[in-house]
A and B are shown apart, each in its own frame.
Chain A
């Protein structure tokens, strides 16, 4: 039988506010163990939380980005459970009235730009817990409270994804949006974005959901793909062998590539949620909601589709450009001139410019490049006024000096020679000194023409127009 794999995701993202959610400790990663905490975030007796308003603002931003309804009035609740990394023995979270709910995100399924709408059930705000430390140098466990009180949003999706590929596309979209609206670092290696995965399977064609299993401890997106595929396979095997799936929570072990039963439904925690009496009802007035909405830029998926549609860029280029706000902004500045092919602009930004950025570990702000200079340069290439090789030299100059593209071409004498008589003389010399290649060509090895054109380019010190050179080379040999 063929099965359909149904996935729902709960993404936890740490918000990049300056301070923690309920105290004024710095919200930073990598401090010395237990150095970035205070009586409040370590839950000392008598201390009280004060809600960081930035957290609400950031979550509302995400709510807008995911097309949610924003609840102007909501509250915080206590989620009670015992664990050594949770110093109050309750997490201040949101239960029945989340800050944002009923939204969606359109994910891009493939290179054709086909999309699918994934429902977002809710987004709520809460605090992160500390970290347990284990080491051979001591018995038992130690607790690092630095992460306690780091603000989180939990984004809960509807079970709208079918299979790991859609789940991955959803996760990529969420991550891109978080980065776009600048509310999370999304540093996987620092655990600033994590997810719990709900998986169920059902025979293709069925319209009732199977029993779902929740998987915890998934810390990377590629791990999520593996976890979903493993769990779907496990469930199908159980069903094929006549068994039934029971509602349970399993722990994903990415190193071993398998999951393990954490607790069955009977052992599920009763969190005894109740409204947090230490914090007031949260009011986000409509004007504030509107103001936050206005601050949301065009989001990555919309941008990708627009680039594909308006500029006929491939999905690959659109995706890479949209992924980086600076690159896409620069791309659009270049487009404004309406002088050169969008694909050529994309090639230069994603090619040589990105390569230089990577090599030197810099970005646009560290260079002197302007959209006008780049467009002028590309225009010269398009009009065969300079060669690609010449353009690379121009690029290096306009990136780091106050100089126009045309000035570089003039000063460095990079203008291509397109004058046939000058080039014919040059080709004649090259052919004379490469008799063997000429003979090869005559004997049918026509691909040596590339070599010969290359030799001509070298002789012209890069200034020859390669297209014209090629024409001359071919016609000269053939008329020999």
Chain B
């Protein structure tokens, strides 16, 4: 079998047992990229030279008998809103077309210590705002399962690279579904961790109270492996929880006996494709047959979640993105007449339409006279939604819903209709609003052969249980639920 087809955990074993080297694996990934990247467009920038150098170092360490992390030598792709020292970090925006950070994100420090090999920086919607990766300033990433369709977004590059065999694992970020929805569209596994479990230091902020970095991979174990290495308290991020985390991958346990699974009716409404509902319920049936109990529940505030999400996330974004003003780094308009003119031209020229739309929305909802009507009420709704989840988790262990109401749509299909585009986040935003962990797992295909994802949601810090359940489903389905796209 070609090396790029291995899961990260399989590759890890082979590297450890010296059945293959990290250089070989890295070369295999770049060979694959050579062959498929023209079609997929997953990466904004590639770092072949430094990747091979790093792989070489790892191989030497292994040869000298050093004990290394499970991730040592594994080629991994990084979403381009995660800051990488001395490596271009653009957030898929013209605004940061030349931004080479002099510092690392905490997750990058951690992963470098583990000895991962960074393949390159992955395409995304500009500043993570979007659901199709069509809002990138640089390129449009294609869904490897059907090149006429979007990979989802905003972590479209991260999901597409894993699906196309252009990386063994990737990091994405999820503010309203940006890991789970593309994972669902591309037929891979994506984990959005509990808010506060992974440091956001070095994640270029979109909505600070909702953003979370998470892994995308081809097996539950792969995802658990990467998550185990990136989670943890970070003094540089005050919002990270002070707690100890286990090695999730080593602890994986594939039994769902006695588990209660909640099925909230609001996530199976009219807006959700019949085939999506069917596939998700088929998957639930598989778990039920393996000993889980299904309980039908209600999360009544779900209908308001999308509004609350767009108010809170845009408000925070309008403030977070204010620093891109042409003064210190990145893009600055060429011609301007005054300071204000420089700000206006820089921001008008440097940001794309969707980003500007959200900055305007966010600026509006925070304005004096409107704050109480919008931002304050959205925050109240946030409390309500969290309370409903807490109530639900008092009667079930986890909740299963579709990850997205449809499978991947066509490129350009929703680009002129922001509201329709926003609606693709309807099943995922509640999880961010409540700060919960959720994993998207492939659970079938629609009539066009496009993957469908099921979302498992758990209480805060229940990642082990979530991953166990996903692992259990994976086992029940024969050990592998992710298929590398044939390109």
Among A96-151, those with CB < 8 Å from B are 143
Q: Which residues of chain A come closer than 8 Å to B47, judged between CB atoms?
A: none
- A51 nearest in chain B by CB position: B238
CB distance A48 to B371 under 8 Å?
Answer: no
CB distance B323 to A49 under 8 Å?
Answer: no
A279 to B96: give the CA distance in the assembly, Å.
Answer: 26
Q: Which residues of chain B come closer than 8 Å to A270, judged between CB atoms?
A: 367-368
CB distance A82 to B322 under 8 Å?
Answer: yes
B202 within 8 A of partner (CB): yes
Q: Which residues of chain B come closer than 8 Å to A444, judged between CB atoms?
A: none
* Contacting residue for A44 out of B327, B329, B367, CB 8 A: B329
The verdict on A45 contacting B105 (CB below 8 Å), with A87-B323, A143-B327 known, is no
Q: Which residues of chain B come closer than 8 Å to A278, judged between CB atoms?
A: 205, 208, 237-239
The verdict on A274 contacting B375 (CB below 8 Å), with A39-B102, A45-B96, A45-B204 known, is yes
- B340 nearest in chain A by CB position: A82
A186 to B378: give the CA distance in the assembly, Å.
Answer: 43
A89 within 8 A of partner (CB): yes
B103 within 8 A of partner (CB): yes
A7 to B343: give the CA distance in the assembly, Å.
Answer: 36
In angstroms, how far is the closest chain B Cβ from the Cβ of A79? 10
A50 within 8 A of partner (CB): yes
In angstroms, how far is the closest chain A Cβ from the Cβ of B128? 12
Interface of A is mostly: loop
Q: How many interface residues does B have (CB within 8 Å)?
A: 44
A362 within 8 A of partner (CB): no
Among B93-111, those with CB < 8 Å from A are 96, 99, 101-103, 105
A39 to B83: give the CA distance in the assembly, Å.
Answer: 12
A50 to B200: give the CA distance in the assembly, Å.
Answer: 12
Among B161-216, those with CB < 8 Å from A are 200-205, 207-209
Among A21-43, those with CB < 8 Å from B are 39, 42-43
Q: Which residues of chain B come closer than 8 Å to A47, judged between CB atoms?
A: 103, 201-202
Q: Which residues of chain A come closer than 8 Å to B366, judged between CB atoms?
A: 80, 272-274
A90 within 8 A of partner (CB): yes
Q: Which residues of chain A come closer than 8 Å to B89, judged between CB atoms?
A: 45
The verdict on A48 contacting B238 (CB below 8 Å), with A84-B327, A270-B367, A274-B371 known, is yes
- B328 nearest in chain A by CB position: A87
A278 to B239: give the CA distance in the assembly, Å.
Answer: 6
Q: Which residues of chain A come closer than 8 Å to B367, judged between CB atoms?
A: 270, 272
CB distance B323 to A43 under 8 Å?
Answer: yes
In angstroms, how far is the closest chain B Cβ from the Cβ of A38? 8
A395 to B156: give the CA distance in the assembly, Å.
Answer: 83
Q: Which residues of chain B come closer than 8 Å to A296, judged between CB atoms?
A: none
* Contacting residue for B238 out of A45, A50, A88, CB 8 A: A50
Q: Which residues of chain B come closer than 8 Å to A43, judged between CB atoms?
A: 323, 328
A51 to B238: give the CA distance in the assembly, Å.
Answer: 8
In angstroms, how far is the closest chain A Cβ from the Cβ of B136? 17
A175 within 8 A of partner (CB): no
- 1/0 per position for B294-333, CB-CB distance to A under 8 A? 0000000000000000000001101100111101110000
The verdict on A46 contacting B238 (CB below 8 Å), with A89-B325, A278-B208 known, is no
A463 within 8 A of partner (CB): no
Q: Which residues of chain A come closer than 8 Å to B207, judged between CB atoms?
A: 277
A262 within 8 A of partner (CB): no
* Contacting residue for B322 out of A44, A88, A279, A280, CB 8 A: A88
- 1/0 per position for B73-88, CB-CB distance to A under 8 A? 0000000011100000
New contact pairs (5) apart from A46-B201, A47-B202, A48-B236, CB-CB < 8 Å: A46-B204, A80-B318, A82-B325, A90-B322, A272-B318
Chosen A-B contacts, 15 in total, with CB atoms closer than 8 Å, are A44-B103, A45-B83, A45-B204, A45-B324, A46-B201, A46-B205, A47-B201, A48-B238, A50-B238, A80-B366, A82-B322, A84-B325, A277-B208, A278-B208, A279-B239
